[in-house]
C-alpha cells in the first residue's frame, strides 16, 4: 500500500515534469514563430536540407562521426537525441554536436550546440572546429555562439558562451560597456558567458548604438553584427533558458514595473542608486557595488530556499576619514511577479517622492558630516529616542578570571559569515574596514532601546572600545574583494564615475562643499557612546541635538546647592582652568604658569576628593560641573576595572585614555551611594595597605591605582563616605578635598524647589504656594538628604497619576500626595537611625 509521503512525492515530481514540458513547448512555439516570420532567401552556404534545420553528428569515444538524421531547431529535439544516444551506449561517453544553420541574415554567426553526458561532461573535438577557425581567419564570422545542454540527470543548468570574432564589433561593445567593472570590455576579445549580464545591463545603450549612423563600411558591418547579437540573445535562442525566460517578459515587466525573483539582478546594474529603510525605518540610499550571485540558488525539488544577495555601499566614516563601506542587502524569495516598489530595496529613481527624499537625505548627510568632524571637546550631544545598542561596557578590557559580570567587557571577535558561492562578477569596492563581522540572517532585526541621555559621537573610540567593525542596523558587511587598482581601472573615467571611486580620495573628502551624492549616500546613523550606562550604540542622526546654553547656566547657578558659595566657585574655577590648560585654549601667560614634574607626563591631572555622608551632593557636584563645563561625565566603579591586580592596570589605563581623549569629567564611585556603610569591594583602591586584614592582592590593587593615577592627565572626582581607612599615599595624590555636611534647611528648600520647577512650569502642581508653606513648616527640619527628596517627589507623582487613572483625579501633584509619602519616609528614617545607632554601639562593645 502506497504511503501518503510517496503519493505526495510522486505528485511533486509530476508537477515539475509538467512545468518543464510547458516551458519546452513555449520555446518551440516561439522559435517556430520567429522562423515563420523570416523571408525565404534560399539556403545558407552550409549544406543542409532547409533553413532553420541542423545537421547532427554523433561522436563516440573513438572519434567516429556518422550522420544520424536531421532534427528541428528546438531544445526538446536535441535533448531527446542526447537521451537516446546515451541509452544506446553504456560503455562510452557520448556527446552530440549540432551545427545550427540560420537564415542568411545570421550568416556571419556560427551556432554550436553541445549536449553533455552528466557522467563525464567531456568536451568534443570535431571537424566543425576547423571550419570555425578558418571562418575566423577570413573574417567571415561576427561571433560564435556555443550552447551547452546537459541531460536531465545533471546538476548543471544549460548555458552558453560567445566568442566575438569581428574586432570592430568588439570595439563597439567596448565603447558602450567599458565603464563596467572587471575588465570585460577593456582589452582583447574574451569569451563571454551567459547570462551576459553586462550586455543585459547596457541593453538600451547597445540597441541605440546599433541604429546609429555608421561612420565607415567597417563600422556599418559592426552595427549590423550588433543587431544580430541582440536579436539572438532576445528571441529565445541565447542557449540560457533563464535568460530566454527573462527576455520573453522583459518589455511587459518594464512597462508594469514588476519583477520576478529570478530576474532581480537585471534591475540592479553596478552604479545604481538603491533605496531602502534598513535602519530603524529611516530612509537610506545605497549604490550598487556588485551582485554576489547572478541567478538565485534553488533548493531541493525546485523550491526556493536561499535569499538573493546584493552588495551595495554607503559613504561612511571609518574613524580616520570617509570611505565607501559595502553592505549586503538580502532579498527573501517570493513567487510570481512583484511590484518593484514593493521590494525591501529597489532603484531609487522609482520612488514616488524621489526629489523630496533626495533633498532630505542631502541635508541629513550634511549633519552627518558635521557630527563626524566635530572637534575634540565638542562631540557631546543630547539624545532622545530609539538607538541600537551594539555593546554595553568598555569592550576590550581584560576580565577577571572568575566568570562574573566583568566578562561582558571582553571584545569577542565575531565569526565571519561564510562566503557564498560566487560567480565571477562585475567588480567590487571592498570593505574599507577589513574587519571580521557577525553572521546575521536576512530576517534578523537589530533591537532598539529607548535612550534619553547625553551621548558622545566618536567613531574611532567605537571601533577601539565597542565593536571593531562598522554597523548599520542589522545589515552585514559585504565580504567581496577590494577594488582593482591596475592602471587601466584607475584611468577609466567611465568606471570611476559609475562606481564613484573618486569619493575615496582625500581631495574629495577634504573639499569644503561635497558632491551632492556624497551627502546623499551618508548613513542615517552615527556611532558613539551613551554615557550614563556606557553603552556603545548606533544613534540616529536626526535625533542628535545640541546642548542648549541655558542648561549649562541653570545647572551651575540653580541645581547645585552647596553651603559655602566660595567652595562652589573654587571648584568651578579649578575645573575650567585645567580644561583650558590641557586643551591649549588658555592664554600663553597661563600656559607658562604650569608646573612640570621631574618625570615627563607625570602629575598633569586634577584630582578632587569629595567626602561626607550620603545624599548631600557629592555625586551631584561632579555631575553638575560636567554639565556646566559641557563635558561628558564618565563614571566608573570597581565593576568596570575588575579586582584582579594583573588586569586592573591595563583596564584603568584604557579607561583613563578614553576619558582624556573625551576631555571627560571622570567620577570614581568608591562608595555604595545608598547607605553610609562602606562597600569593601568599591573602596579597594583607596584602603590602607599593610593591615592585618588586607591581602597581597588587595595591596597590589592600591599600588596599581596610585601608579596609574600619577599619569592621568584629566579631571577626576573621588567620592567616599569615610576617609579613616584611606591609604597613607592617597592624600598626596589629591589636589583638593572638600568636606560635605548634612543639608541645612535653606539647602533643603532649594533642592525641593529645583525638583519641582519643571512640574510647576508644566502646570502639573496643584496649589504650589500651599505646598511650599507646608514644607517650610513641617519638612525642611527633618534632615532629608538629596536622594530622599527626589524619591519623595517621585513617589508623590506616582500617587497623583494613579489617582487620575483609577479614581478620576486630575493627575496633578498636591500637598496630600506629598504628605502621604513624607509620613512613611520620616518613619523609616527614624527607625533606621535607631537601628543603626544600636549597631554602632554593639561594634564598640565588641572592640572593648
Mean pLDDT to the nearest integer, 549-569: 69
C-alpha cell at position 396? 576590550
pLDDT: is 589 or 115 the higher one? 115
The pLDDT value given to residue 218: 93
| 785/799 Cα distance (integer angstroms) | 21
The percent of residues in the chain predicted with pLDDT above 70, rounded, is 69
> 66 near 59, Cβ under 8 Å?
no
Phi and psi torsions of 380, nearest 5°: -95, 130
Q: Residue 170's pLDDT band (boundaries 50, 70, 90)?
A: very high
37-58 pLDDT, tens digit each: 444 433 333 333 333 333 333 3
Multiple choice CATH, 569-739, 3.90.1260.10, 3.40.50.20, 3.40.50.450, 3.40.50.300: 3.40.50.300
Q: Is the pLDDT of residue 773 over 80?
A: yes
Q: Which residue has the higher pLDDT, 184 or 201?
A: 201
Q: Which residue has the higher pLDDT, 749 or 116?
A: 749
State the cell numbers at 808: 478620576
pLDDT band at 342 (very low <50, low <70, confident <90, very high): very high
**pLDDT exceeds 70 at position 172:** yes
What is the per-residue pLDDT for 81?
34
Q: Supply the mean pLDDT for the chain.
A: 76
Three-class SS of residue 655?
helix
For 499, half-sphere exposure in the C-beta direction (CA atoms, 13 angstrom radius) is: 30
- Better-predicted residue by pLDDT, 115 or 16: 115
Q: Where are the domains of the chain?
A: 1-37, 43-238, 264-545, 569-739, 745-847
Residue found by looking up cell 497623583 in the block: 800
271 vs 839, which has greater pLDDT?
A: 271
Region 73-95: mean pLDDT is 35
Looking at residues 242-264, what average pLDDT do you find? Answer: 93
Which range is least confidently modeled, 80-89, 144-153, 200-209, 839-848?
80-89
Contact between 241 and 26 under an 8 Å Cβ cutoff? The reply is no
Residue 463 vs residue 600, higher pLDDT: 463
pLDDT of 384 strictly over 80: yes
Report d(CA 165, CA 846) in Å as an integer: 105
Range 755-764 contact pairs with CB under 8 angstroms and sequence separation of 24 or more = 755/789, 755/790, 755/793, 756/793, 756/813, 757/558, 759/793, 759/797, 759/813, 763/812, 764/797, 764/811, 764/812, 764/813
Please enumerate in sequence order all residues whose Cβ is within 8 A of that of 427, keeping only pairs 6 or more positions apart, or say none.
180, 181, 182, 270, 290, 483, 484, 495, 499
Label the pairing between strands 337-339 and 476-477: unpaired
Question: Can you tell me the mean pLDDT for 730-748?
Answer: 87
Beta-bridge partner residues of 273:
287
Task: Judge whether 645 and 652 are in contact, CB under 8 Å.
Answer: no
Would you say residue 717 has pLDDT above 80? yes
pLDDT score at 424: 37
Q: What confidence tens digit (pLDDT) does each residue in 776-825 have?
A: 989 998 888 888 999 999 999 999 888 877 666 677 899 999 999 999 99
* pLDDT per residue as tens digits for the range 577-599: 888 776 655 445 444 445 555 45
Mean pLDDT of 735-749: 87
**Residue 240 pLDDT:** 92
Amino acid at each position: 500500500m502506497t504511503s501518503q509521503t510517496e503519493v505526495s512525492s510522486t505528485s511533486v515530481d509530476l508537477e515539475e515534469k509538467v512545468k518543464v514540458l510547458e516551458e519546452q513547448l513555449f520555446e518551440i512555439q516561439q522559435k517556430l514563430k520567429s522562423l515563420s516570420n523570416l523571408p525565404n532567401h534560399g539556403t545558407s552556404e552550409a549544406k543542409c536540407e532547409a533553413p532553420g534545420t541542423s545537421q547532427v553528428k554523433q561522436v563516440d569515444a573513438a572519434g567516429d562521426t556518422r550522420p544520424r538524421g536531421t532534427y528541428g531547431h528546438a531544445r526538446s529535439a536535441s535533448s531527446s537525441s542526447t537521451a537516446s544516444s546515451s541509452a544506446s551506449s553504456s560503455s562510452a561517453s557520448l556527446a552530440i554536436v549540432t551545427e545550427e544553420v540560420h537564415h542568411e541574415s545570421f550568416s556571419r554567426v556560427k551556432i554550436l550546440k553541445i549536449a553533455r553526458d552528466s557522467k563525464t561532461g567531456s568536451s568534443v573535438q570535431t571537424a566543425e572546429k576547423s571550419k570555425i577557425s578558418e571562418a575566423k581567419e577570413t573574417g567571415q564570422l561576427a561571433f560564435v555562439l556555443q550552447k551547452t545542454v546537459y541531460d536531465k540527470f545533471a546538476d548543471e543548468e544549460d548555458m552558453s558562451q560567445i566568442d566575438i570574432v569581428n574586432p570592430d564589433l568588439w570595439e563597439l561593445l567596448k565603447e558602450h560597456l567599458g565603464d563596467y567593472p572587471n575588465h570585460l570590455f577593456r582589452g582583447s576579445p574574451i569569451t563571454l558567458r551567459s547570462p551576459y549580464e553586462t550586455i543585459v545591463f547596457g541593453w538600451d545603450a547597445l540597441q541605440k548604438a546599433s541604429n546609429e549612423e555608421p561612420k565607415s563600411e567597417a563600422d556599418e558591418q559592426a552595427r549590423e553584427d550588433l543587431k544580430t547579437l541582440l536579436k539572438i540573445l532576445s528571441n529565445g535562442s541565447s542557449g540560457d533558458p533563464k535568460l530566454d525566460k527573462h527576455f520573453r517578459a522583459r518589455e511587459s515587466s518594464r512597462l508594469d514595473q514588476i519583477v520576478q525573483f529570478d530576474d532581480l539582478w537585471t534591475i540592479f546594474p553596478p552604479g545604481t542608486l538603491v533605496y531602502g529603510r534598513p535602519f530603524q525605518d529611516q530612509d537610506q540610499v545605497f549604490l550598487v557595488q556588485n551582485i554576489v550571485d547572478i541567478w538565485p540558488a534553488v533548493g531541493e525539488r525546485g523550491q526556493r530556499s536561499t535569499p538573493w544577495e546584493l552588495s551595495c555601499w554607503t559613504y561612511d566614516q571609518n574613524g580616520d576619514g570617509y570611505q565607501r563601506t559595502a553592505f549586503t542587502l538580502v532579498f527573501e524569495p517570493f513567487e510570481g511577479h512583484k511590484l518593484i516598489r514593493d521590494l525591501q530595496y529597489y532603484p531609487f529613481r522609482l520612488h514616488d517622492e524621489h526629489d523630496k527624499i533626495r533633498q532630505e537625505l542631502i541635508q541629513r548627510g550634511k549633519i552627518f558630516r558635521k557630527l563626524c568632524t566635530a572637534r575634540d571637546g565638542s562631540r557631546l550631544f543630547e539624545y532622545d529616542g530609539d538607538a541600537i545598542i551594539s555593546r554595553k561596557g568598555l569592550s576590550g578590557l581584560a576580565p577577571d578570571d572568575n566568570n562574573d559580570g566583568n566578562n561582558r567587557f571582553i571584545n569577542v571577535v565575531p565569526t565571519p559569515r561564510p562566503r557564498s558561492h560566487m560567480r565571477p562578477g562585475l567588480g567590487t569596492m571592498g570593505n574599507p574596514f577589513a574587519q571580521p563581522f557577525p553572521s546575521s540572517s536576512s530576517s534578523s532585526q537589530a533591537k532598539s532601546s529607548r535612550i534619553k541621555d547625553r551621548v558622545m559621537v566618536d567613531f574611532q573610540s567605537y571601533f577601539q572600545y565597542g565593536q571593531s567593525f562598522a554597523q548599520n542596523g542589522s545589515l552585514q558587511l559585504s565580504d567581496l574583494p577590494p577594488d582593482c587598482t591596475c592602471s587601466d581601472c584607475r584611468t577609466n573615467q567611465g568606471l570611476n564615475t559609475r562606481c564613484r571611486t573618486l569619493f575615496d580620495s582625500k581631495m574629495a573628502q577634504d573639499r569644503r562643499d561635497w558632491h551632492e551624492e556624497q551627502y546623499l549616500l551618508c548613513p542615517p546613523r552615527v556611532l558613539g557612546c551613551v554615557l550614563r550606562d556606557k553603552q556603545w550604540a548606533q544613534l540616529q542622526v536626526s535625533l542628535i541635538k545640541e546642548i542648549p546654553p541655558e542648561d549649562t547656566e541653570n545647572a551651575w547657578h540653580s541645581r547645585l546647592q552647596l553651603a559655602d558659595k566660595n567652595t562652589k566657585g573654587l571648584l568651578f574655577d579649578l575645573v575650567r582652568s585645567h580644561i583650558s590648560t590641557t586643551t591649549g585654549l588658555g592664554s600663553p601667560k597661563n600656559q607658562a604658569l604650569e608646573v612640570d614634574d621631574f618625570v615627563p607626563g607625570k602629575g598633569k591631572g586634577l584630582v578632587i576628593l569629595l567626602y561626607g555622608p550620603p545624599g548631600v551632593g557629592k555625586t551631584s557636584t561632579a555631575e553638575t560641573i560636567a554639565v556646566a563645563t559641557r563635558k561628558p561625565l564618565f563614571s566608573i566603579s570597581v565593576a568596570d576595572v575588575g579586582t584582579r591586580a594583573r588586569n586592573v592596570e591595563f583596564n584603568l589605563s584604557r579607561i583613563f585614555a578614553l576619558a582624556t581623549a573625551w576631555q571627560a569629567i571622570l567620577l570614581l564611585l568608591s562608595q555604595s551611594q545608598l547607605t553610609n556603610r562602606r562597600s569593601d569591594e568599591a573602596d579597594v583602591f583607596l584602603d590602607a595597605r599593610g593591615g592585618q586584614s588586607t591581602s597581597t592582592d588587595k595591596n597590589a590593587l592600591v599600588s596599581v591605582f596610585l601608579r596609574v593615577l600619577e599619569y592621568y592627565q584629566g579631571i577626576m572626582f573621588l567620592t567616599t563616605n569615610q576617609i579613616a581607612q584611606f591609604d597613607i599615599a592617597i592624600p598626596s595624590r589629591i589636589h583638593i578635598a572638600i568636606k560635605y555636611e548634612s543639608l541645612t534647611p535653606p539647602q533643603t528648600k532649594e533642592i525641593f524647589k529645583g525638583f519641582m520647577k519643571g512640574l510647576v512650569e508644566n502646570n502639573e502642581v496643584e496649589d504650589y504656594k500651599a505646598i511650599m508653606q507646608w514644607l517650610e513648616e513641617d519638612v525642611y527640619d527633618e534632615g532629608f538628604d538629596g536622594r530622599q527628596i527626589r524619591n519623595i517627589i517621585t513617589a508623590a507623582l506616582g500617587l497623583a497619576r494613579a489617582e487620575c487613572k483609577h479614581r478620576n483625579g486630575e493627575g496633578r501633584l498636591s500637598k496630600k500626595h506629598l504628605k502621604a509619602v513624607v509620613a512613611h519616609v520620616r518613619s523609616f528614617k527614624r527607625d533606621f537611625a535607631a537601628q543603626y545607632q544600636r549597631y554602632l554601639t554593639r561594634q564598640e562593645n565588641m572592640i572593648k
